[in-house]
Amino acid sequence: MLVDVRPTKRLRGSSPVDVSAALGPIVEALGQDTVDLSRVRVVCDWIQYKHNFRDVIDIRPITGSASSGMELEAAVDLRRCAGTDLNAATAEALREFHDPDSSDRVYLEQWTAGKDSCIWDFNALYWQALGRWEEVSGQDYEQALPGGSSDGRNQEAARELILELFDTWDELARLSSLPEQLYVVELGVGNGTQAKAWLDEFRELALIRGVDYYQRLHYIMGDYSPHVLKLAQETVAEHAAQVSSIVVDATDPTASLGFLRHKAFLVYVSNVYDNLPTDEVASISGRTYRVEVRAYLPREGSLALAERLSTTPEQVGGVVRKLLRLGPELLAEALPQQLPDVASAVRFWQEAWSWLRLAERYVPLEGLDLYQICPTVTGEVLRPILEDRGDFRMQVSNGAVASFVATLRLLHPYGRLHCHDLFVTDARRYDSQFCGPGKYDGSIVNWVNGALVQCVGNRHGFDVNYVPFRHREGTNITTLTAQVRE
């Protein structure tokens, strides 16, 4: 049996985690089972997200292994071990492993790649129907962020970026190569506060510098959520002559912004990548696996939801799928007896979201080149990170990589991508830290595989640099800058 304790920093300090207290009952339960203990991995994490998709103990099949390979993984959340009957929880998870058909879980989908799971439909629904969610929860989505606000609106950061842009434009103007329209794009515009701060600063600095860049500026605000975009338009109303707004799928920005190919001098992306679909891959005993997931509602959750609907637990899955298809407004119309108004449909949605869990299993990848991270990037790009690393698991950040690659195509030869997000800049960090997924309000958060994004950027001719966000203390946010490599 292999035991992997990942949050090693928590084994020391004033209140260290008592791993042996956690492991004892788990190993005991495993010992009471029939599994081949020599083919078991026990992996201990510390899940920092209060709301997440895991149980305290999850048993994950490792499929396709030779008889000598690993058969299952027991995944433990050390943060929640205290106060849990770990022996019973492990035994219960093992029963599920041995006989999944007799499960009392309500599964919402078949086994699928992480990025294709219906949890992303929940995520998409959150942004599409954000206004309804906020009405019922009574707080706007920024309040739900860990710091209570976005890092995007920092004036000092904006000034620094604008002045660098002016220097580039001055040089191109000297060479008679500055285009008439100066395009700047913001993806994930939020409620527009960053855009407003940026545009205010831009106008003032252009005035001071005595240049006509403000008049030539075309600031394009892009967001997935029409609701958010409308708020942003109102926020930047005084700059209306310089601003356009457009609904953008962040994973495929060229679909709506293709006309900007090689034209954008700055693409600004704030807190978008961590909310895009991702797979996870793992190396276990020298073999590469993709993590497949299956969303479900535990028995307790399906009972609670069934009570809300005055129906049976077996019917709940169908209503959840209908919710994801129709959204809360049409769901209330479709089920007037059970959900008499939109607010009750939203409350059903919020409760379903809170109960949502992910079962996982490992499925072998037959070849990295056969694994498509996104339409233009194959899994071959993972090779330098996975190679020679031993047992390892990480996010692929498929949506972020797709967005990043497509965004690079928009950049003018002298353009740059500037991005604030949660990046794992050194892949070794995956050895010791849980990097998602977690739940923020109604959306998903994952740390972004920055090491992979850097590899991808390099393979597209860009230098990709990371620095901690310099303009606020104590934040986990990292600033990515990508520019064409000389």
Partner 1 sequence: MTVLRAPSPLPLLPTSVVGSYSVPEWLEGVKTDFYHRKISKNYLDDIHGVVTKAALKDQERADIDIVSGGELSRDNDIDYLLVRLPGIEIPDTRKSNSYDYYDAVVREPLPVGSRFPLRLTDDYRFVRDNTDRPVKFSITGPFSLSRKLRNEAYDDPAGLVMALAELLNAEAKRLVAEGATVLQLDEPLLCGYRDQVGTAVEGINTVIDGVDASWALHICYGNRYARPSWEGHYDFLFPKVMDARVDQLVLEFARRGYEDLDLLARSGWDRGVGVGVIDVKTEEVETAETVAHRIRRALRVVPPERMTINPDCGLRHLPGDVARAKLRAMAEGTAIVRDELSTVATPTGDIAIRDESGASREAVQEGAMQS
- Look at phi and psi of residue 388 and say left if phi exceeds 0, alpha if psi is from -120 to 50, else beta: left
Closest contact distance (angstroms) between CB of 413 and partner 1 is: 5
Regarding 179 and contact with partner 1 (CB under 8 A), the answer is yes
- Compute the C-alpha angle 253/259/261, nearest 5°: 75
b/e sequence 390-405, b meaning 16+ C-beta within 10 Å: eebbbbbbbbbbbbbb
Regarding 461 and contact with partner 1 (CB under 8 A), the answer is yes
**Would you state the structure tokens that stand for residue 434, as one six-digit string?**
């849980």
Q: Which of 161, 152, 323 is nearest to 221 (CA)?
A: 152
**Would you state the structure tokens that stand for residue 468, as one six-digit string?**
């901690």
SS3 content of the chain, % helix, strand, coil (to 5): 45, 25, 30
- Pick one of 262, 325, 428, 470: the residue that binds partner 1 (CB under 8 A): 262
Closest contact distance (angstroms) between CB of 185 and partner 1 is: 17
The residue (of 178 and 246) whose beta carbon lies closer to partner 1 is 178
Closest contact distance (angstroms) between CB of 410 and partner 1 is: 11
Q: Can you tell me the distance from the alpha carbon of 185 to that of 407, in angstroms, rounded to the nearest whole number?
A: 10
Regarding 413 and contact with partner 1 (CB under 8 A), the answer is yes
State the number of binding residues for partner 1 (CB under 8 A). 18
Regarding 24 and contact with partner 1 (CB under 8 A), the answer is no
- Pick one of 149, 155, 177, 354: the residue that binds partner 1 (CB under 8 A): 177
**Would you state the structure tokens that stand for residue 40, as one six-digit string?**
């078991």
For partner 1, the binding residues in 291-350 under the rule CB under 8 A are none
Regarding 458 and contact with partner 1 (CB under 8 A), the answer is yes
Closest contact distance (angstroms) between CB of 261 and partner 1 is: 9
Q: Can you tell me the distance from the alpha carbon of 30 to that of 38, in angstroms, rounded to the nearest whole number?
A: 11
183 bridge partner residues: 218, 264
Regarding 239 and contact with partner 1 (CB under 8 A), the answer is no
The residue (of 84 and 458) whose beta carbon lies closer to partner 1 is 458
The residue (of 245 and 454) whose beta carbon lies closer to partner 1 is 454
* E-state strands within 98-210: 106-107, 112-113, 182-187
Regarding 378 and contact with partner 1 (CB under 8 A), the answer is yes
Regarding 256 and contact with partner 1 (CB under 8 A), the answer is no
- Pick one of 209, 230, 308, 460: the residue that binds partner 1 (CB under 8 A): 460
Closest contact distance (angstroms) between CB of 486 and partner 1 is: 9
Closest contact distance (angstroms) between CB of 335 and partner 1 is: 45
Query: Of the listed pieces 29-37, 353-361, 408-416, 474-482, which binds partner 1 according to CB under 8 A?
Result: 408-416
Q: Can you tell me the distance from the alpha carbon of 218 to that of 264, in angstroms, rounded to the nearest whole number?
A: 10
Query: Of the listed pieces 94-102, 171-179, 186-194, 296-304, which binds partner 1 according to CB under 8 A?
Result: 171-179
For partner 1, the binding residues in 45-104 under the rule CB under 8 A are none
SS3 category, 297: strand
- Pick one of 66, 175, 208, 240: the residue that binds partner 1 (CB under 8 A): 175
Regarding 390 and contact with partner 1 (CB under 8 A), the answer is no
b/e sequence 440-477, b meaning 16+ C-beta within 10 Å: bbbbbbbbbbbbbbbbbbeebebebebeebeeeeeeeb
Where do we find the tokens 């100066």?
182
- Pick one of 369, 426, 467, 470: the residue that binds partner 1 (CB under 8 A): 369
Closest contact distance (angstroms) between CB of 460 and partner 1 is: 5
**Would you state the structure tokens that stand for residue 411, as one six-digit string?**
């950049």
Residue ranges in contact with partner 1 by CB under 8 A: 175-177, 179, 262, 369, 378, 380, 383, 408, 412-413, 458-462, 484
